[in-house]
A and B are shown apart, each in its own frame.
Chain A
């Protein structure tokens, strides 16, 4: 079974600064996808970024980028130029050869003005 671990329950960052959220996972599969989801206070689940395991290039979406280290089974999220609207719970998620998403416990990110 796959597991996803987020070791930082809470983090804070000053507006306009950069923050990195950590995620590690465990799997025996070679083909899989990794995701970061954002959950603001409204509790809506919003996809931030995704990474295909077979791609060596790290995914980037505007201010969001990942550092995917397949051998280390690490998938961290970097948020550049943090904005107040980035305040949310961030979940790392894994999807393997079946359909389901396996989530980590989440990191609560607070962006301070």
Chain B
């Protein structure tokens, strides 16, 4: 069964350093997402991506964050200068389709196993 994969599973970095979290979505999917979960808290939407551009982003997704699909398979989240409060689990998700006629159609978002980011 196809699945979303993420690397690394755990990333430890120093405050102020840049990190890149990598995701390989399911191959025929067109919509990609990043979510984060601070320990003990709910999962929060960061950004959605379609057709090589951001579809929507949350207020969390500030100028320190960027996403990219550098090739046909990878989808990356970059944090330019990490802060202590960026420590969280970061989940990538993908779905086959998104909107049809302006209505979100039935398209399950498949989640990857997550990358635990620890900022020291």
Interface residues, chain A, CB within 8 Å of chain B?
Answer: 31-33, 37, 42-47, 50, 52, 91, 93, 95-106
Contacts and interface: CB of A to CB of B under 8 A. Distances in A.
Binding site of A, secondary structure by majority: helix, strand, loop or mixed? loop
Binding site of B, secondary structure by majority: helix, strand, loop or mixed? strand
Which 3 pairs, one residue from A and one from B, show the smallest C-beta to C-beta distance? A45-B111, A100-B45, A103-B43
B104 A99 contact: yes
18 contacts: A42-B113, A43-B113, A44-B114, A45-B111, A45-B114, A46-B111, A47-B108, A50-B108, A97-B99, A97-B104, A99-B33, A99-B48, A99-B50, A99-B99, A100-B48, A100-B58, A103-B43, A104-B42
B28 to A, nearest CB: 17
Nearest to B108: A47
A50 B110 CA distance: 13
Contacts of B99: 97, 99
A73 to B, nearest CB: 18
Contacts of A44: 111, 113-114
Given A43-B89, A50-B106, A103-B42, 19 more contacts: A31-B104, A33-B106, A37-B111, A43-B113, A46-B111, A47-B110, A50-B108, A95-B104, A96-B104, A97-B99, A99-B31, A99-B55, A99-B56, A100-B33, A100-B58, A101-B35, A101-B109, A102-B45, A105-B42
Given A33-B106, A50-B108, A99-B55, A45 B95 contact: no
B2 interface: no
A47 B41 CA distance: 18
A112 B43 CA distance: 26
B102 interface: yes
A99 B108 CA distance: 10
A98 B91 CA distance: 19
A79 B40 CA distance: 23
Contacts of A37: 111
